Structure 1
Amino acid sequence: MAKGSRRLVLGFLFVSLLYATVLRCNISPVCLWKYRPLWSNSLNLRSKNGGNTKGIEYFSFLLRRLVRGQARRELTQKHMTYISDKESDICITSSPVRITTGSSSSPTVYITKPNQSQPNQFTLRPYPRKTDSLAMQRTSPVTILINPQSPLPPCTTIHTSPAVIFSTGGFAGNFFHDINDVLIPLFLTAGHLHSNVHLVITDYEPWWALKYHRLLSGLSPEIIIASSTSSNVDTAVHCFPAAVVGLKYHGNLACNSSDVPGGVSIRDFLVFLRDSLELKPMQVHAMQAPVLVLISRRKSRTLINEDDVVELARKIGFQVELATPGRMSKVDEFAELVNSCSVLMGVHGAGLTNMVFLQPGSVLLQVVPWGLDWASKAYYGGPAEEMGLKYVEHHIVVEESTLYEEYPKDHPVISDPWSINLKGYNVSKPVYTDGQNVTLDLMRFREVLLQAMQLVPRQSLR
């Protein structure tokens, strides 16, 4: 081939690759999020009163990524849509919005739709567990008024970016629910807005926001308190060019790339997590004993012979770090510990959610109590594999559970756990989740620890 022809072919391939990259960014919100420093400062965003609609049009484009089909057509044509999924309700509007704060425990959202004169009113609880009545009782409703007949309250603060309104009520405060019910859905809903968004929190708790400050800051430069159960909130009226009320939910510790906003996987959330907390790959020497972090439970599903298990793990060759509830409460510090370990181990429970801080290829070892086979796989086993972790589980035999001494051997709790689970969580929870502790058979468990040791990454750089 002539030199000129080769240059032509190479030039064509380069242009094709560049076009494919740009096209991929157009359809992948997380791609834009990753490259936001290249363009975020170049946007000239002003309020509608400032006369610049370029920013508003851009936000309208981004908000349409949260919907498909008829909902997208409604948002495009009517500037508002309402989506009701199995676990979450979401209202999205590209029309101007006013949000009152501090006047009551139930914030009010005023939406002005220019092509609709008919007033409308409804409520929405912005926490993605609407099938759980207890979670909904702990979540304050947000009242949404569309084209109200009474005069709109005057703005006290005008913002140039959209609002995402969500609750930290429900089951927030439990680490699994913090990650699963709030932070992952928040990433799915607000992450593709590239930090050009204001987080408006209902049922606000200062300690919760402080605990996750670095993660929230990774999504937005500002938090606005709409209502709080433990502190006073200033009365104000915040005005936004657009808003999302509620959060998108994909399932247990899940980001489904095929679902809206599209192209976002759980591994993208893990990248966001690691970037926000500045977690770096750890240097591990070939002769260094791999670190096993053992989640120590105190109230239920306690590992009764925990000291013996620690001694066994050390004999096998692990360096063991015991993670007490107090130690795990300091998210930033504990994330660094888990980031540096090779194996995270624990009896089924919220502490295993710390697997989100494990480096890819690390091992999650879950001890499965009696009667909790399905929950253990659904909440941690399946998600661990999606996160790129190696997963090992140890199903206890009934003799290792304290339930064996509390119930007759022919009782369904012992002989047929699934029949108890079928009666509903209100029946099974007091028995299997809250009502048992575990004493591991060390001979059986030794084989599980050896399996975990064999799966530990051996490369010098992790």
Structure 2
Amino acid sequence: MYPFHLKAIRQTISWNRSDEMERGRRNLLFFAIIFSLASCSLIVPSFFLVERSPVVAAIPSISASRRLAEQERAIVSAEKSLPKKNSLAPRVFPCAVMKKNSFCCDRGSHVSDVCVLRGNVRTRPSSAAIFLYNNGGPTNNSSPKNRPSMRLEKIRPYPRNWDRGLMSTVDELAITVRGRSNGGGHNCDIVHRVPAVVFSVGGGEEDDLDREFSDGLIPLYITSRHYHRRVVFLIVNYRAAWRAKYDHVLSRLSAYPPIDFFGDNRTHCFPEVTVGLHSHGDLLVDQTQTISANQSINDFRRLLDEAYRPRIRFFEGRAKGASVADSAPKLVIIFGGGSAAVENKAKLVGLCKEMGFQVLKLRLDRTTELAKIYWALNSTDAVLSAEGSALAHLLFMRPGSVFINVMTQGTKKTMETQYEELAKEIGVVYKSYKLEISEMLVSEEKTKKVKLDLNRLLGRLTRTYQYIVARKMEDDNSSLRWNENWLPRRSE
């Protein structure tokens, strides 16, 4: 039997906090030692080297003074080298402050290139070009070689510079500065009063949720959020399916419909255009590098909540007739997200129901609406990724919920670390379940199959159940009661 008394329940609340407290104690001890050493090095020399009298201390010798001064300089130097935990070193954006009729390119990141044009900016899709017309004055990049009528820059507006194979599929744009302020014969068909951001969704047709978030939505959020929806998106390598998939999110970043850069041959004119997207890495929002101060991945997650809220209300309305009590812990089991299928999934679902979970089976495939996946993961208390899921799915979960990830043999440590770090950032409890060799099967068709050892998995599920119920009992004053009927059960 498992200890289900209230004391044990409350102890499980610290399940996710013990590591944090231990790290905090280690950091505190480290700085206490440094402070003690610094204090001793200042006090001890003056005590032993200086002869004292009841009235006035004697003047220290020259050699003692020099040693003391050297020790003080060493202490100051050591203190300067110590990391300051709360100090942020923001990256300086070369194109952050620009005058009108100016042009600047930031190529300081290994991930992406970003160019900004301010003034009389016009598109020309037939030439795969964007023009800045000015009065012939200097630009940020002007030099004897860069005269107003010359093409200055070429850019592929996709944030993955290090992946040459992928970048070769992204259409290249030319940025040109012309010396005529009126644009000559290059007349405006549509004049916009707000800025524009030009970006690519990638040249391939691959349906990869992690890539679409890491290279698309999150960099787009970082680049455009400070416009507060008063911005137009021009999409290179436009795909109607991509736009339909993420239309809810795009509408929270821009109040205007996206434009297919090459599909719309009209000349669009803007007061400012940003070509390319700022990126901080895979599924990352670095607060020290954001254009708008102190943005984080949690701010992006709140944007997702806003984007999918109307659709979630629709799903919630359809689910009102559910017979299971709302207070019962909810568990979503993900199937179909990976290459290895679970053979005993029916027994897995049965075990979870016996424990008292309200179980929802979620199958991931291209036909599953993304808003429905978001609603399922956002409304649950725990997720068991039985057949694999995308790292980006963590962003769909509420803080305080639990994510159990079934990891196959040979999973790279870096991948598991990514899951752990992202979960910690957004406040999700992350636990991995590493499959034993005995749980891996090979069928006659030589396809991978998994037969979960339910006795092994029972420990993870038990602690998850305890943690969720304890939270509900403390946070919601829930009248939820333990379902102990499943405890004597043993998996077959």
* 1:1-36: CA deviation from partner (whole Å, max 9, x where unpaired): xxxxxxxxxxxxxxxxxxxxxxxxxxxxxxxxxxxx
The 5-angstrom pairing of residues 314-329 of structure 1 reads 314-326=353-365, 329=368
**Residue 193 of structure 2 is aligned to residue 160 of structure 1:** yes
What is the match of residue 111 of structure 1?
A: 132
Q: Once structures 1 and 2 are overlaid, which stretch shifts more, 144-153 or 158-167?
A: 144-153
Matched, 1:90 2:114: yes
Match of 2:476 in 1: 460
Amino acid at match of 2:349: V
How far apart are the structure 2 equivalents of 1:226 and 1:339?
32
Q: How far is the alpha carbon of 1:289 from its aligned partner?
A: 2.2
| Corresponding residue to 2:274 among 241, 244, 248 | 244
Alignment equivalent of 1:199, drawn from 209, 233, 256: 233
Secondary structure of 1:218's aligned partner? helix
Structure with more of its chain in helix, by fraction: 1
Q: Which residue of 1 aligns with 2:287?
A: 257
In structure 1, which of residues 297, 301, 307 is the aligned counterpart of residue 346 of structure 2?
Answer: 307
In 1, the alpha carbon distance for the partners of 2:401 and 2:101 equals 48
Residue 72 of structure 1, CA deviation: 4.2
Gap change, CA 1:201 and 1:252, over 3 Å in 2: same
Which whole-Å CA distance do the structure 1 matches of 2:179 and 2:340 have between them? Answer: 52
Deviations 1:192-246 (A, max 9, x none): 1101100111111112211211210111122343346xxxx23111111011111
**Equivalent of 2:299 in 268, 285, 309:** 268
Task: Check 1:361–1:263 CA distance in 2 against 1; reply closer, same or farther (3 A cut).
Answer: same
- Residue 186 (str. 1) matches residue 186 (str. 2): no
Shift, 1:152, TM fit = 6.1
Runs (5+) with no aligned partner, structure 1: 1-66, 408-434
Whole-Å Cα distance in 2 between the matches of residues 385 and 342 of structure 1? 16
Q: Mark the CA change 1:255 to 1:148 in structure 2 (over 3 Å): closer, same or farther.
A: same
1:354-404 per-position Cα deviation (integer Å, ceiling 9, x unaligned) = 222222111111111112142432442211110111111112223333489
For 1:348 and 1:324, the matched residues in 2 are separated by 9
SS in 2 for 1:94: strand
Question: Residue 377 in 1 paired to residue 416 in 2?
Answer: yes
Partner residue in 2 for 1:330: 369
- Supply the distance in 2 between the matched residues of 1:276 and 1:115 (Cα, whole angstroms): 42
Alignment correspondent of 1:5: none
Counterpart of 1:122 in 2: which secondary structure? strand
SS in 1 for 2:341: coil
Separation in 2, partners of 1:352, 1:328: 19
Structure 1 pair 438–144 and aligned structure 2 pair: CA distance change class (3 A): farther
Q: Tell me which residue corresponds to 2:333.
A: 294
Distance 1:318 1:348 in 2: 19
1:443 to 432, 440, 455: 455
Question: 2:329, 2:340 → 1: CA distance?
Answer: 26
Equivalence for 1:212: 246
Distance 1:296 1:309, change over 3 A: same
Q: Distance in 2 between matches of 1:267 and 1:208?
A: 23
Q: Do the aligned partners of residues 298 and 243 (structure 1) sit closer, same or farther apart at CA in structure 2, a change above 3 Å counting? A: closer
Match of 1:25 in 2: none
Count of residue pairs brought into register by the alignment: 362
> Corresponding residue for 2:7?
none
Q: Report the Cα distance in structure 1 between the residues aligned to 2:328 and 2:428, rounded to whole angstroms.
A: 20
Distance in 1 between the 2:383 and 2:203 partners? 27
Alpha-carbon distance in structure 2 between the residues aligned to 1:461 and 1:213: 39
**1:356 matches 2:379:** no
The verdict on how the C-alpha distance between 1:120 and 1:342 changes in structure 2, with shifts beyond 3 A counting, is same
1:80 alignment partner in structure 2: 103
Q: Distance in 1 between matches of 2:462 and 2:366?
A: 27
Q: Cα offset for 1:120?
A: 2.8
The one-letter code of the counterpart of 1:444 is R
Write the distance in 2 (CA, Å) between the matches of 1:255 and 1:325.
26
Q: Is the 1:97–1:112 Cα contact (8 Å) retained in structure 2?
A: yes
Aligned counterpart for 1:343 among listed residues 371, 382, 404 = 382
* Mapped partners of 1:88, 1:384: distance in 2: 25
Bigger Cα displacement from structure 2, 142-151 vs 131-140? 142-151
Change (3 A) 1:72 1:395: same
Q: Higher mean Cα deviation, 130-139 or 324-333?
A: 324-333
Structure 2 unaligned blocks of 5 or more? 1-89, 140-146, 479-492
In 2, the alpha carbon distance for the partners of 1:383 and 1:438 equals 26
Partners of 2:387 and 2:153 in 1: how far apart? 39
Bigger Rg over Cα:
2
Q: Deviations over 1:77-116 (max 9, x none)?
A: 9833222312211112223321123x37xx3211235424
Q: Letter of the aligned partner of 1:109 in structure 2?
A: I
Once structures 1 and 2 are overlaid, which stretch shifts more, 310-319 or 70-79?
A: 70-79
Task: Name the structure 2 match of 1:136.
Answer: 167
Give the distance between the partners of 1:404 and 1:87, measured in 2 at CA: 42
TM-score normalised by L of structure 2: 0.66
Letter of the 1:124 counterpart: I
Give the conservation status (yes or no) of the 8 Å contact 1:254–1:266: yes
Cα distance in 1 for partners of 2:362, 2:93 equals 49
Q: Could you tell me how far apart the structure 2 residues matched to 1:220 and 1:70 are? A: 23
Q: Which whole-Å CA distance do the structure 2 matches of 1:68 and 1:96 have between them?
A: 28
Provide the C-alpha distance between the structure 2 equivalents of 1:249 and 1:349, rounded to a whole number of angstroms: 26
Query: Cα offset for 1:325?
Result: 2.5
Task: Tell me the amino acid that sits aligned with residue 278 of structure 2.
Answer: K
The answer (yes or no) to whether the contact 1:162–1:243 under 8 Å persists in 2 is yes
Structure-1 separation of matches of 2:93 and 2:400: 41
Amino acid of the structure 1 residue aligned with 2:194: S
- Structure 1 residue 326: Cα displacement: 4.5
Report the alpha carbon displacement of residue 266 of structure 1 after superposing the two structures with TM.
0.6
The separation in 2 between residues aligned to 1:325 and 1:302, in whole angstroms, is: 12
2: distance between equivalents of 1:395 and 1:313?
Answer: 19
Please give the alpha-carbon distance, in whole angstroms, between the structure 2 residues aligned to 1:357 and 1:338: 6
Contact residue 345 and residue 352 of structure 1 kept, 8 A: no
